[in-house]
């Protein structure tokens, strides 16, 4: 994978955000859940960066800065965190994974680190739920978070999101 490939794949995921925005604009009263977002794309670039695979992590802020003004940011993120990397690796291996480095221990640790740090930066706009919790507790926590995010007036703005990304990137 070349740096050009990384750049093109990053742009592809930014385009998916635009498609999501168009859907949300057409369906303004619906609650939409998505399992991928711009955060996953940045996490992927960070994981590549940490194992010296060509990446565009150094260009992420510039790419996102103009893009973020043209999308609808989520109300919040819920991250299901595997505390046990063996469980996460087993789950990943049960699916087709196009890039084998994604299931290596060091990559899984780097992805966990990225999500942990970024969601600390995003504070009230994120919830991390360990997968070891019972399904009932997971649902209860997620439901409470969703209800709270839908009723509060404070929304995630592009400036808050960019600040969180920049704070993470400057500390690596």
DSSP string for 63-104: HHHHHHTTS---S-EEEEE-SSHHHHHHHHHTS--SSGGGGS
List of domains in the chain: 3-170 (3.40.50)
Per-residue exposure over 67-88, b if at least 16 CB sit within 10 Å of its own CB, e if not: bbeebebbbbbbbeebeeeeeb
pLDDT band at residue 13 under the 50/70/90 scheme: confident
CB burial of residue 133 (10 Å; 0-12, 13-18, 19+): middle
Asked if residues 141 and 127 have their Cβ atoms less than 8 Å apart, the reply is yes
The pLDDT of 78-87, averaged and rounded, is 73
Give yes or no for residue 51 having a pLDDT over 80: yes
Give yes or no for residue 40 having a pLDDT over 60: yes
**What is the predicted pLDDT for the residue at 92?**
55
Nearest Cα to 24, choosing from 79, 70, 77? 70
**What is the predicted pLDDT for the residue at 98?**
54
Give yes or no for residue 86 having a pLDDT over 80: no
Partnered with residue 78 across adjacent β-strands are 127
Full-model pTM: 0.78
Give yes or no for residue 122 having a pLDDT over 90: yes
Give yes or no for residue 73 having a pLDDT over 90: no
């Amino acid at each position: 994978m070349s740096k050009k490939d990384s750049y093109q794949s990053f742009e592809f995921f930014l385009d998916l955000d635009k498609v999501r925005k168009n859907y949300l604009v057409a369906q303004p009263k619906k609650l939409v859940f998505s399992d991928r977002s711009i955060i996953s794309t940045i996490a992927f670039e960070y994981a590549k960066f940490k194992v010296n695979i060509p990446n565009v992590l150094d260009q992420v802020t510039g790419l996102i800065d103009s893009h973020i003004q043209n999308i609808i940011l989520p109300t919040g993120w819920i991250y299901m965190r595997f505390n046990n990397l063996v469980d996460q690796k087993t789950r990943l291996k049960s699916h087709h994974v196009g890039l084998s480095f994604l299931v290596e221990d060091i990559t899984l640790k780097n992805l966990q680190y990225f999500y942990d740090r970024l969601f600390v930066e995003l504070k009230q706009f994120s919830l991390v739920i360990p997968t070891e919790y019972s399904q009932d507790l997971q649902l209860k926590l997620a439901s409470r978070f969703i209800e709270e995010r839908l009723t509060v007036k404070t929304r995630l703005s592009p400036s808050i999101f960019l600040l969180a990304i920049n704070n993470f990137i400057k500390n690596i």
